[in-house]
């Protein structure tokens, strides 16, 4: 999950990426 990498930078981005990955 790439979202983990963004977690340190932006929590909001993590939620968005996590959602996209869920569909992907």
pLDDT 10s per residue in the chain (24 long)?
A: 565 665 566 566 666 666 665 654
The CA-atom distances, in angstroms, between 10 and each of 2, 20, 21 are: 12, 16, 17
CA 23 to chain CA mean position, Å: 12
Could you tell me the pTM of the whole model? 0.19
The pLDDT value recorded for residue 4 is: 62
The pLDDT value recorded for residue 9 is: 60
The pLDDT value recorded for residue 23 is: 54
3-state SS assignment for residue 13:
helix
The pair of three-digit structure tokens given for residue 23, joined into one six-digit string:
């569909």
Rounded distance between C-alpha atoms, residue 10 and residue 24, angstroms: 21
The pLDDT value recorded for residue 8 is: 60
The pair of three-digit structure tokens given for residue 18, joined into one six-digit string:
């996590």
């Amino acid at each position: 999950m790439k979202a983990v990498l963004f977690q340190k930078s932006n929590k909001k981005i993590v939620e968005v990426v996590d959602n996209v990955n869920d569909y992907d």
